[in-house]
Amino acid sequence: MLSRKDFIKLGAAVSVASVASKLQSGTPNRKKGPVVVSTWDFGMEANAAAWAILSSGGYSLDAIVEGVAVPERDPKVNTVGLGGFPDRDGRVTLDACIMDEQLNCGSVACLEYIVHPAAVARLVMEKTPHVMLTGEGALRFALEQGFKKENLLTPQAEAAWKEWLKKAEYEPKPNWELNHDTIGMLALDQQSRLAGVCTTSGMAWKMHGRVGDSPIIGAGLYVDGEVGGATCSGLGEEMIRIAASHSVVEAMRSGKSAQAACEAVIRRYYKRRGDKAHGKQLCLLAMDNAGNVGAFSLMPGFVYSVNCNGTNEVRKAAYLLDE
Ligand code: ASP
């Protein structure tokens, strides 16, 4: 087994520190929307779509739904929406949730045949007395709302699944892009309204019916306009265990910066889980209600996309373990 070195990689830490200082320059706590951030590098295109709405004075909630619709409908992204890798039965099941600055939230889990689960989650929030719909019920609701039923299993995803079936071993690997990688997005608009969304096809080759952190309010996403928001990617079972996004928001509420809050949650996770954390990846992304951004992961490899004042770029997150 590889030895573990429990330290922050300085290079990455420096790049995040410079990002933080860039974003935090100016009067402390000055509202500085619009800003949009999202997990991974495919967040760049998603951010650009969200930015088109934010920069013209649009609502953050509209911006994030449009933003994540880009990877959701991209068949080349094998971890979100159309073209997402299926479960072990060959079924593409999608998870998503959404939350606004006033604690309104909606979620769908294990939703099949609908390309845009984040948009459905928004309607769960706006049009039902519930927060979460799953499986058949979520599908029925989506169809009633006018969404089209489509086959989400692309030939490429089907071929990958058939290849996997030859050994049928379920081994979630950190940062193996073809295995998982959710898009979580947080946006602050010109009127300082904060909103967040998280959408995914979940872990490839999962058991049918498995639901990860991504549609769970408090795990994959949490937003409170009084404080800020957080979202995650990585192994959902671990995120749920620590109510990851809610923990980050609560750490910010207690006075930590977005960056320090992400670090504190990962450090506490590692302290509590010790060897059980081995080989797992947990990636946190946060933004406070003034637009200051933080990101941190357990292991190397987490990148995120930031669009602030129209400059859209991918940044490396600092991380805890050198392995
Ligand atoms: N968190 C997602 C899940 O467990 C996967 C990922 O973000 O990589 O379903």
Q: How far is the CA of 239 from the centre of ligand 1 (A)?
A: 9
Torsion sign across C-alpha atoms 115, 67, 42, 258: negative
Give the model confidence (pLDDT) of 232-275 as tens digits: 999 999 999 999 999 999 999 999 999 999 999 999 999 999 99
Tokens of 106: 């909606």
Whole-number pLDDT of residue 13: 38
Which of residues 177 and 64 earns the better pLDDT score? 64
Which pLDDT belongs to residue 26? 33
Span 48-70, average pLDDT: 97
Read off the pLDDT of each residue in 42-60 and give the average, rounded to a whole number. 97
Q: Which amino acid is at 153?
A: L
Band of pLDDT at residue 176, cut at 50, 70 and 90: low
Question: What is the model's pLDDT at position 19?
Answer: 38
Residues 60-89: pLDDT tens digits?
A: 999 999 999 999 999 999 999 999 999 999
Phi then psi for residue 314, to 5 deg, are: -95, 135
When pLDDT is cut at 50, 70 and 90, the band that residue 179 belongs to is low
Q: Is residue 308 one of the residues assigned to a domain? A: no
Q: Is position 283 within any domain?
A: yes
CA-proximal residue: ligand 1, atom 7 (nearest):
233
Residue 10 lies in a domain: no
Which is the catalytic residue, given 79, 182, 200, 231? 182
Q: Can you give the CATH number for the domain in which 103 is found?
A: 3.60.20.30
Q: Which of 68, 233, 299, 303 to mutate to test the pocket of ligand 1 (most atoms within 8 A of CB)?
A: 233
Q: Is 212 a member of any domain?
A: yes
Predicted pLDDT at 32: 66
Q: How far apart are the two ends of the chain, measured CA to CA in Å?
A: 11
Cα–ligand 1 centroid distance for 83 (angstroms): 15
Res. 230: pLDDT tops 60: yes
Which 3-state string (H, E, C) describes the chain?
A: CCCCCECCCHHHHHHHHHHHHHHHCCCCCCCCCCEEEEECCCHHHHHHHHHHHHCCCCCHHHHHHHHHHHHHHCCCCCCCCCCCCCCCCCCCCEEEEEEECCCCEEEEEEECCCCCHHHHHHHHHHHCCCCEEEHHHHHHHHHHCCCCCCCCCCHHHHHHHHHHHHHCCCCCCCCCCCCCCCEEEEEECCCCCEEEEEEECCCCCCCCCCCCCCCCECCCEEEECCCEEEEEEECHHHHHHCCHHHHHHHHHHCCCCHHHHHHHHHHHHHHHHHHHHCCCCEEEEEEECCCCEEEEECCCCCEEEEEECCEEEEEECEECECC
> What's the CA-to-centroid distance between 57 and ligand 1, angstroms?
32
Structure confidence at residue 171 (pLDDT): 79
Distance 191 CA to ligand 1 centre (A): 31
Q: What is the pLDDT of residue 181?
A: 87
| C-alpha 89 – ligand 1 centre gap (Å) | 18
* Two tokens, residue 147: 């969404």
Most informative mutation of 85, 213, 299, 302 for ligand 1 (most atoms within 8 A of CB):
213
Whose Cα sits closest to atom 1 in ligand 1? 236
Question: What residues are in contact with ligand 1 under a 6 Å CB criterion?
Answer: 180-182, 200, 202-203, 212-214, 233-236
CA 71-74-75 angle, to 5 degrees, is 130
| Single-letter amino acid, residue 11 | G
- Per-residue pLDDT of 21-40, as tens digits, reads 333 333 344 356 799 999 99
Q: Is residue 15 part of a domain?
A: no
Cβ(304)–Cβ(46) under 8 Å? no
Pairing of strands 318-319, 293-297: parallel
Summarize the confidence of residues 170-183 as an average pLDDT: 69
| Structural domain boundaries, residue 39 | 30-301+313-318
Determine which residue's CA is closest to atom 4 belonging to ligand 1.
Answer: 236
Q: Is 8 contained in some domain?
A: no
What is the number of domains present in the chain? 1
How confident is the model at residue 175, as a pLDDT? 58
Give the C-alpha separation, 198 to 194, whole Å. Answer: 14
Cα of 190 to ligand 1 centre, how many Å? 30
pLDDT at 18: 38
The predicted structure's pLDDT at residue 31: 53
pLDDT at 20 over 50: no
- Ligand 1 atom closest to Cα of residue 236: 4
Known catalytic residue at 311 = no
Q: How far is CA 49 from CA 37, 56, 100, 235, 312, in A?
A: 12, 12, 19, 27, 11
Domain-located, residue 307: no
pLDDT value at residue 320: 97
Best of 201, 210, 214 to mutate for ligand 1, by most ligand atoms within 8 A of CB?
Answer: 214
